[in-house]
Amino acid sequence: MKTKTFSVLFITLLFSGVVLNGQNSNKSVTDVILNGYSVRMFSSEPVSDQDLDLILKCGIKAPSSRNGQRWKFTVVRDTALANKAIGNINPGNVLIFVSGPESQEPAGIDFDCALATENMNIAAQSLGLGARIYGGPVRNVNSTMKQSLEIPEGYRVVTILRVGHVDKSVDAVTAASARKSYEEIVNFKK
Ligand SMILES: Cc1cc2nc3c(=O)[nH]c(=O)nc-3n(C[C@H](O)[C@H](O)[C@H](O)COP(=O)(O)O)c2cc1C
C-alpha cells in the first residue's frame, strides 16, 4: 500500500514538473541564453495555450522599477491582424504587444517593458519555441493600429514579441548572430 502511494506521488510530481517546466525542462537558463537566437523562419504549427500562458506569466514576473509593473500585454493570434503590424506572419504565431503608459513618467517604463519582453523571449526559447523581438514596426503600430489592437487607453506599444514554432529547416548554429568578443566588451578593473 505504501509503495502504491509513493508511486502515485512520484508520478504526480514527475508530471507536474514536465508540465511546469515545458519540453526542455533539463536545459538550464544559461544554456537557453547562450544557445538562443532571434528566429526569422517560423512554421505554422500553433503555439499551445499552455505554453503561451507560461510565457506570459514569465513576463509578469519580470523585475520593474519600484515594482511598478506598469506594463500591459496585448496578445494577438489573429494572423490577418498580426500581418498588419509585421509582415510574413505565419498562422499559429502569436504576437505579444508590450505597452507602457504614454506619459513615460516616472522615467524607466521602456526599460521595464524591455525586461518583461526579454523574460518572455527566454521563456519561449526554454519551451523549445522560437521568438523575435520587434522594435521597427512600433512607431507605425502606435500611429495606426492602437484601436484595432485594443491597446489600453493611455498606453503605447514599446516592443512586440513574436512567438512561434521554428521552421524545421533552420539550423540553429548558422541562424545565430555573431557577438563582439568578450575582450572588447568586458573590462576587469585592475
Ligand atoms: C529592441 C530590439 C528591437 C528589435 N527590432 C527588430 C526589428 O524591428 N526587426 C527584426 O527583424 N529584428 C529586430 N530585433 C532583433 C535583433 O535584430 C536581434 O536580436 C539581433 O540581430 C541579434 O540577433 P540574435 O538575437 O539572433 O543573436 C530587435 C531586437 C531588439 C532587442
Could you tell me the CATH number of the domain that includes residue 64? 3.40.109.10
Residue nearest atom 22 of ligand 1, based on CA coordinates:
177
Q: Could you tell me the distance, in angstroms and rounded to a whole number, from the CA of residue 8 to the centre of ligand 1?
A: 46
In a domain, 51, yes or no: yes
Model's pTM, two decimal places?
0.87
In a domain, 81, yes or no: yes
In a domain, 16, yes or no: no
Rounded to an integer, what distance in angstroms lies between the CA atom of residue 179 and that of residue 92?
Answer: 30
pLDDT at 26: 63
State how many domains the chain has: 1
Q: Could you tell me the distance, in angstroms and rounded to a whole number, from the CA of residue 99 to the centre of ligand 1?
A: 18
CB of 86 shorter than 6 A to ligand 1: no
pLDDT at 173: 82
Are residues 42 and 165 in contact, defined by beta-carbon separation less than 8 angstroms?
Answer: yes
In a domain, 185, yes or no: no
Q: Could you tell me the distance, in angstroms and rounded to a whole number, from the CA of residue 10 to the centre of ligand 1?
A: 42
CB of 133 shorter than 6 A to ligand 1: yes
pLDDT at 27: 82
In a domain, 39, yes or no: yes
Residue range of the domain that includes 131:
26-176
pLDDT at 16: 42
In a domain, 101, yes or no: yes
Residue in 37, 39, 133 to alter for ligand 1 test, most ligand atoms within 8 A of Cβ: 133
Rounded to an integer, what distance in angstroms lies between the CA atom of residue 86 and that of residue 32?
Answer: 26
In a domain, 182, yes or no: no
Given a cut of 50, the residues of the chain with pLDDT beneath it are 1, 5-6, 8-24
pLDDT at 7: 52
101 preceded by a cis bond (ω within 30 of 0): no
In a domain, 162, yes or no: yes
For 15-146, list the strands marked E by DSSP. Answer: 72-76, 94-101, 130-134
Residues 6+ away with beta carbon under 8 Å from 60: 69, 116
pLDDT at 15: 43
